[in-house]
C-alpha cells in the first residue's frame, strides 16, 4: 500500500529533505519499506511492507558470493521480506530487542505510548515492551537523549537485536 501527498510549497535543500524523510519514517505507523521525498513541486510517497505473514525481518544480505556450483540456489530464493536495516544513522543509538517476541509501544491498549518522537528520555527510562513467553519484558533506554524514530509497530513480531527505538544522545 502507498500514499502520496503533493504540495505547492517549495521544499528545502537536500539536508532538509533527508531530515523530512527520517522524520517521516519515525512517525509513520507500521513497517516502512520505502520513502520518496521529492523537491520541485513537492511530493511525498510512502510504501509499507506487505501485510503478509507476521514474520520477523530478514537477516542482512550475505556477503557477495560467486555463483555457487550445483546445489546452492540463486539469490532470488532468498526470503521475500522487508529489510530491517542494522544500525541507525550516524549519531543515533538504537535500542534493540534483547529477545524474540512481540513489540508494544504502550503498557496496555488503553494507555498512551511510553514515548513519542521528539520526547526526551533518561537512561533506564522504559520506552517499550517486548512480550515473550507471556512475559512483558520492559525495554529501557540505554542512553539519555531525544527519541528520533520508533521503528516497530505495536503487535509486530520482532527478533533478537532488531532496532526498536532510535535515540539521538544528549551532548556531554
Partner 1 sequence: MFSRVLIANRGEIAVRIARTCRELGIEPVMIHSTADAGSAALRYAEDVVCVGGDRAAGSYLYIPNVIEAALRSGADAIHPGYGFLSEDPYFAEICEDNDLTFIGPSPQVMEKVGSKAVTRELMAAAGLPLLPGTRDAVATVEQAHAIAADIGYPLVIKAVAGGGGRGITMVRRREDLSDAYRTTRATALATFRDSNVYIERYLDHARHIEVQVLCDAHGNGVHLGERDCSVQRRHQKLVEEAPSPAVGPQLRSTLGPLAVRGALSIGYRGVGTMEFLLDDEGNAWFMEMNGRIQVEHPVTEMVTGVDLVREQILVAAGHPLTARQDDLTPRGHSIECRVNAEDPDRDFAPTPGRLTVFEPPAGPWTRVDTHCTAGSTIPPYYDSLIAKVIVWAPDRAQAIARMKRALAEFHVEGPGIATTIGLHQRIMDAPEFVDGTVHLDFLSTFAQPSLPESRPA
Q: Would you tell me which residues interact with partner 1 (CB under 8 A)?
A: 53-56, 58-66, 68-73, 75, 77-79, 81, 99-102, 132-133, 157, 159-162
Alpha carbon distance 115, 172 (integer Å): 23
Nearer to partner 1, 97 or 105 (CB): 97
Closest alpha carbon to 113 in 127, 123, 102, 124: 127
Minimum CB–partner distance for residue 96 and partner 1 (Å): 10
The DSSP letter of residue 58 is B
Nearer to partner 1, 25 or 57 (CB): 57
Minimum CB–partner distance for residue 60 and partner 1 (Å): 6
Nearer to partner 1, 3 or 78 (CB): 78
CA count, 13 A, side-chain hemisphere, 24:
21
Nearer to partner 1, 105 or 148 (CB): 105
Amino acid at each position: 500500500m502507498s500514499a502520496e501527498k503533493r504540495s505547492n510549497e517549495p521544499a528545502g535543500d537536500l539536508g532538509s529533505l533527508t531530515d523530512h524523510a527520517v522524520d517521516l519514517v519515525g512517525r509513520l505507523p507500521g513497517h516502512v519499506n520505502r520513502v520518496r521525498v521529492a523537491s520541485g513541486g513537492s511530493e511525498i510517497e510512502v510504501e509499507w511492507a506487505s501485510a503478509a505473514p507476521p514474520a520477523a525481518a530478514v537477516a542482512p544480505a550475505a556477503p557477495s558470493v560467486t555463483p555457487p556450483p550445483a546445489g546452492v540456489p540463486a539469490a532470488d530464493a532468498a526470503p521475500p521480506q522487508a529489510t530491517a536495516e542494522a544500525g541507525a544513522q550516524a549519531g543515533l543509538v538504537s535500542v534493540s530487542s534483547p529477545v524474540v517476541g512481540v513489540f508494544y509501544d504502550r503498557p496496555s491498549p488503553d494507555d498512551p505510548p511510553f514515548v513519542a518522537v521528539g520526547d526526551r528520555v533518561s537512561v533506564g527510562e522504559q520506552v517499550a515492551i517486548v512480550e515473550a513467553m507471556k512475559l512483558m519484558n520492559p525495554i529501557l533506554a540505554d542512553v539519555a537523549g531525544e527519541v528520533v524514530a520508533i521503528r516497530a509497530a505495536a503487535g509486530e513480531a520482532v527478533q533478537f537485536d532488531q532496532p526498536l527505538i532510535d535515540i539521538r544522545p544528549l551532548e556531554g
